[in-house]
Amino acid sequence: MFKGGLNKLKSNELIQVASVNSLSVLFKLITGFVTSKFTAIFIGPSGMAITGNLSNFTQSVENLSSLGFKNGIIKYVSEYKDDKDEFKKIVSSGFFIALSIGLLLTLILLVFSNTFSVFVFNTKTYSDLFRVLAFMVPLFSLQVFFIAIYNGLKRVHIVVLLNIIATIATALLIIYLMYVNQLQGALLAMVITPFVLFLTLFLKYKLLFIIFKSISIASVSKDFFLKIISFFSMTLFSGIMVPLVYLGIRNYVIDRIGVDQAGYWEGMRKISNYFMLFVFSLFQMYVLPELSKKNSRLKLVVFNFYKTALPVVLVCYLVIYFLRHFIIKIVLTEAFLPMQDLFMWQFIGDFFRIMFLVISYQFLAKKMVWPYIFCEAIYMLLIYLVSICFIDLFGIKGVVQAHALACFVYLLVLLFVFKKPLFSKQDVIQYTDYED
């Protein structure tokens, strides 16, 4: 019985992907902890809040620079990887889309660098950062493009290897620049990271050149553009707005209860994000490709993920919660100990977030544009308004309480939207058969 169960686990694709990807996540966690420690030492809670603002802005720019084609390419490469002509159309169209978007954003960032500096930092002092970022954006677009192809081809080992190398290189860069120039160095490192990510692609230059040979202007497809435009709509709305919502919340925290309090929240988000690295990578490398298959069933993918991943997630959250005092001192510094009160509500929200994210990938896989935008709008509006209200009532703890409430409500919304594919009797029978 034990041997049969073990063989069943080995044949589970999610577990196979998780085992390979866990090495990449481990390196990200280690380097993330190290960089967080140096960040806490060199610039403290207030500096962490300021870097958090730039991080949210660069996230919006990076999401806009990929404009949704990342998920679109993963989907269509996964579907048509065995069709040489269609694959060539996807690669060629995706490449020129990525390059065009990157160059357009470069122009915008150069022209409005002063405006963006005031928007993010409330001063023109950091305008040069946005000019540097302008030249990094096309490199980021192309890096995302090629990694998306690798994911669609299920070259998981290559993606993991490149992620590990990029993680180590960027961590060393951040630590060095912070050591040399504290806050200024940290901010500069954040904007030149795309250059490091782009360079890592050449470590697998043979595969890179094979894909590059498939690129030609003649193969650019209008049909592919029309297919992928739905992904544009989704990214334009959520990929840009979500980081800006958090930027707005953080600025409200700074204005109302102080920059150090905002730093505690940013420290909490960093610890949360380290754990979410593993979950997000599974979404990219397992959930989306599985849902993109022509005969995929939402129930099978969702419940397989729930039964395999959620128990592990719950145990990890409990361990981290009870060891939070020591984790803060190890990962950050004693100056961040006041953030202990934020852990419970943050993790409750994160647990609900994981549950709704695996369902929400159905929007991307099936190109459900308007339902996606509607649900995301509810989530963003709720988390912003409730955060503002709860900050005034409960202080910094109100931010994580708002996070938990918003994630729970969004989960309920998605369960309602997808109630038919998730709870129909036919799928229950099929899911039971799948289990056997």
Cα 416 to Cα 423: distance, rounded to the nearest angstrom: 10
Q: Which two structure tokens, joined as six digits, stand for 420?
A: 């038919």
- Cβ–Cβ < 8 Å for 203, 169: no
Question: What digits encode the pLDDT tens for the residues 306-325?
Answer: 887 888 889 999 999 999 99
Instruction: Find how far residue 134's CA is from the centre of its chain.
Output: 21
- Cβ–Cβ < 8 Å for 89, 224: yes
Give the domain extent around 407: 2-435
Phi (first) and psi of residue 269, to 5 degrees: -65, -35
Q: How many domains is the chain built from?
A: 1
Residue 187: pLDDT band (50, 70, 90) is: very high
Backbone dihedral region for residue 237 (phi beyond 0: left; psi -120 to 50: alpha; all else: beta): alpha
Cα 267 to Cα 223: distance, rounded to the nearest angstrom: 45
More reliable by pLDDT, 434 or 392: 392
- The predicted pLDDT at position 423 comes to 76
Task: Quote the mean pLDDT of the chain.
Answer: 83
Task: Answer whether residue 292 shows pLDDT above 70.
Answer: no
Cα 132 to Cα 188: distance, rounded to the nearest angstrom: 8
Task: Answer whether residue 9 shows pLDDT above 60.
Answer: no
Q: At what angle do helices 259-282 and 397-417 cross, to 10 degrees?
A: 30
- The predicted pLDDT at position 13 comes to 55
Cα 57 to Cα 63: distance, rounded to the nearest angstrom: 10
- Cβ–Cβ < 8 Å for 109, 140: no
- The predicted pLDDT at position 235 comes to 64
Closest CA to 76 of 289, 390, 316: 289
Residue 294: pLDDT band (50, 70, 90) is: low
Owner of token pair 């962490």? 48
Buried residues in 22-54 as b, exposed as e (16+ CB within 10 A):
eebbebbbebbbebbbbbbebbbbbbbbbbbbb
Cα 57 to Cα 272: distance, rounded to the nearest angstrom: 19
Task: Answer whether residue 80 shows pLDDT above 90.
Answer: no
Mean pLDDT along residues 99-110: 92
Question: What digits encode the pLDDT tens for the residues 296-309?
Answer: 577 777 888 888 78
- Cβ–Cβ < 8 Å for 127, 189: no
- The predicted pLDDT at position 6 comes to 46
More reliable by pLDDT, 24 or 191: 191
Give the whole-number percent of the chain exceeding pLDDT 90: 38
User: In 10 A of CB 316, how many CB atoms?
Assistant: 13
- Cβ–Cβ < 8 Å for 33, 274: yes
pTM of the model: 0.78
Residue 111: pLDDT band (50, 70, 90) is: very high
